[in-house]
Amino acid sequence: MSEKQKLIRKMIQMQKEFIAQERQGGMDPKDYFAPQSDHALSGYRESFTEIATRVGNLAHEEKGSRR
């Protein structure tokens, strides 16, 4: 499995966990945008953004294109 495929699977898993948490008890916007350090979403946005950026970069490398 390629790095891009692994990262995409990670993103999908992160999304599934987010949706499950949202369905269990709703989601307070402050927990998404400014979670406490011990909250399940702590670092979520930053991690997801880093992974998504890497996936985009890998896709560009595969096609030989530039951002």
34-47 pLDDT, tens digit each: 999 998 889 999 99
Say what the pLDDT of residue 54 is.
97
Number of domains in the chain: 1
Domain that holds residue 8: 3-63
pTM of the model: 0.83
Q: pLDDT for 46-67, tens place per residue?
A: 999 999 999 999 999 988 887 7
By the 10 Å C-beta count (0-12 exposed, 13-18 middle, 19+ buried), 39 is classed as: middle
Name the 3-class secondary structure at 38.
coil
